Structure 1
Amino acid sequence: AGLKALEAFEEGYWGQKYPAIAQSWRRNWEHVVPFFAFPEGVRRIIYTTNAIEALNSKRRRAVRSRGHFPGDEAAMKLLYLVLNNAAEQWKRAPREWVEAKTQFAVIFGERFFN
């Protein structure tokens, strides 16, 4: 089903416009396919970039609001404070994590630590 979807993508508008995407998926197919064995909720938690995008957004906002810095050390201190504050906010797990933990416990058995 995955290969059929990839072929449909290649033949479609976006595949024709950006052929490098399908080529990349084909080159790395053996690394992509194992993800499809997981339910959708687990796949979402495995490859989501929301946390990374949110962190980069906070970093950009902090730097942009300051304008310029007197030196590298001042910039590093600000980035440290932004990262430290973001880490404190990561106390709550994503919604999909409960489903993912259940699936990992079934698949990996004793190797999975909660």
Structure 2
Amino acid sequence: MIYTTNTIESLNSVIRKSIKNRKIFNHDNSAFKIVFLSIELTSKKWTMPIRDWNSAMNQFMIIHEDRLDKYL
């Protein structure tokens, strides 16, 4: 099992904070850009390896073998 709750809550916090700083957006695309950039900057800070990733990847290979072959 991959634990993601803290990661998702942290990411939601970063997105909320970046949107809260800008009250008005001219277009929907400008809001999407802010969300994308905040996710991109946050993901660069993630340095901890995912716990039990090897066992999760083995399960993914069993369940979705045909989908993962071209990426490995």
TM-score interval (norm. to shorter): 0.5 to 0.7
Task: Indicate the SS of the match to 1:51.
Answer: helix
In the other structure, the counterpart of 2:70 is none
Higher relative contact order (CA 8 A, sep 6+): 2
1:62 Cα deviation from its structure 2 partner: 0.5
State, as a whole percentage, how many aligned pairs show the same letter. 32
In the alignment, the residues of structure 2 paired with residue 48 and residue 67 of structure 1 have an alpha-carbon distance, to the nearest angstrom, of 29
TM-score (norm 1): 0.42
Count of residue pairs brought into register by the alignment = 57
Quick one: which amino acid aligns to residue 78 of structure 1? Answer: I
Q: Distance in 2 between matches of 1:48 and 1:85?
A: 18
Structure 2: which 5+ residue stretches go unaligned? 62-72
In the superposition, the TM-score normalised over structure 2's length comes to: 0.63
Q: Which residue of 2 aligns with 1:63?
A: 19
| Alpha carbons of structure 1 residues 70 and 82: separation in structure 2 relative to 1, 3 Å | same
- The aligned runs of 1:14-93 (5 Å cut-off) are 46-93=2-49
User: What do the CA deviations read for 1:53-91 (whole angstroms, capped 9, x no partner)?
Assistant: 000000001101111111111111111110110111112
Select the structure of larger CA radius of gyration. 1
CA RMSD, 1 decimal: 2.2
Distance in 1, matches of 2:40 and 2:26, equals 21
Structure having the higher helix fraction is 1
